[in-house]
Homo-oligomer: A and B are copies of this chain.
Amino acid sequence: MTIKDVAKKANVSTATVSRVINNKSEGITEEMRQHVQKVIDEMGYTPSHLARGMVTKKTYTIGLVIQDIRNPFFPKMVSGVEHVAYNHGYMVLLCNTDEDLNREKDYIATLREKRVDGIIITVSNGIDRAYIAQLTKGDIPFVFLDEIAEEVNCVCVDNTLGAYQATKHLIQLGHKHIACLSGPSTSITNLNRVDGYKKALMEAGLPINKDLILKGSYKADSGYKSAESILKDFPHVTALFCANDFNALGAYKAVVAHGKRVPEDISIVGFDDILDIPANHFAFTSVSQPTYEMGQAAATMLMDMIHKKPMNEPFMTFEPKLIVRDSTSSPL
C-alpha cells in the first residue's frame, strides 16, 4: 500500500497526502487534512521511511558502535544514547564489535551504506589513527565516546584525575608501597590512568618505582597474574591500583588465593565501578564514571552536529568519582 493508493481513495493528489503525513501546516485546509487522515487511518497506511529517506537524505537513524553490551560498563551508556536519540526522533542501530577491528570496520561500512545520519563510536583499545582520520574525513558526523581521540568530537572522562583520586585515597590511608596494575599500553585511557597514579605519588613525595607498574590487559586474568607477581616479588606492597575493575577482580582472586586478605593485607582500588551490587557484604572501592550522562552527552553532541548547530565544545570531559567501599583500608 502506497501513497498513491491513499491519494486515489481520497480523491486527492499524492502531494496532498504527503502534506498530511508530514504535518505540513501551510497550504492545506483543516477540512482536507481530516478527510485524508481518515482515509489513511481506514486503510492502515504506513509511509515508507525508505522512500522518504531517498529524497530527503535523512534516515533518522544513528549507529552506536560499542565493544560488548555484555560488559556492564556499557548498558547505561547505551541507555543514555538511546534516550536522547528517541527524544529527537532517532533510532539507534546497535553494533557490537566484540573488540574485533574487522567487525568494527565492517559495521561502520554498513552504517555508511545504510546512510545513517551519524555515528557514535567507543573505539577499541589501540586506535588505528589513520583509520579514524579516514572516518572523520568522510561525509557522516562522528562522535567518539569513552576513549580519547585527538582532533575529533569526543566525550570522555578525565582518567588522569580518576587515577589520581584513587591513588591519593590509598596514600591518605597510609599506604607507602602501591603497585599499579595497568592495562594495554595501546590504550590512551590506560596511559592516562597510569599518569594519574604517578601524579599522586609524586605529589605525596613517594618514589615512582617502575617495577611496580605492571603492563597487562583489561581482563581479569591479567590482574590475576600481575597481582601474583607483585605478591611474590614485592612483599612490602600493601595496595594495588588497578586499571579497571576486571583487573581488580583478578587481583582480588590472586590475593585471596595466596592466603591474604582484602583489605586487611592488601587494599585494592578498581576503575569503572561495574562490580557493585546493592546488598552485598563486600564491594570494591572503585572510580565511577557517569556513563549514562556520557552517553547522553555524546548523543546530544551528535544531534547538534547533525542539525548543524554551533557546538559549545567539541571535546567534553566528565569528572570521575571515587567510591570508597570495602576493598581498601589502612595498612596494618
Contacts and interface: CB of A to CB of B under 8 A. Distances in A.
A83 B95 CA distance: 10
A82 B69 contact: yes
Nearest to A46: B112
Interface string A242-264: 00000001001100100000000
Contacts of A79: 68-70, 96
B76 A114 contact: no
B49 A78 contact: no
B280 A277 contact: yes
A332 to B, nearest CB: 20
A110 B91 contact: yes
A174 interface: no
A282 interface: yes
Interface in A248-298: 249, 252-253, 256, 275, 277-283
Interface in A61-107: 61, 64, 68-70, 72, 74-76, 78-79, 82-83, 86, 91-96, 103, 107
A61 B277 contact: no
A126 interface: no
B91 A93 contact: yes
Nearest to A274: B277
A113 B69 CA distance: 27
Contacts of A113: 46-49
Given A53-B50, A282-B280, A94 B115 contact: no
B70 A249 contact: no
A242 to B, nearest CB: 13
Given A68-B79, A92-B94, A93-B61, A253 B279 contact: yes
Given A68-B79, A93-B61, A277 B279 contact: no
Contacts of A51: 54
Nearest to A253: B279
A83 B103 CA distance: 11
A114 B49 contact: yes
B54 A50 contact: yes
Nearest to A68: B79
B94 A82 contact: yes
A50 B256 CA distance: 56
Contact of A70 (B75, B114, B275, B283): B75
A252 B256 CA distance: 27
B277 A115 contact: no
Contacts of A78: 69, 94
A53 B113 CA distance: 11
A109 interface: yes
Contact of A249 (B46, B109, B110, B278): B278
A37 interface: no
A148 B83 CA distance: 27
Most buried by B among A51, A115, A278, A279: A279
Looking at A50, A61, A253, A281, which has the most chain B CB atoms within 10 Å of its CB? A50
A59 interface: yes
A49 B49 CA distance: 12
Given A49-B115, A281-B281, A93 B96 contact: no
5 contacts: A70-B79, A91-B94, A91-B114, A280-B280, A280-B282
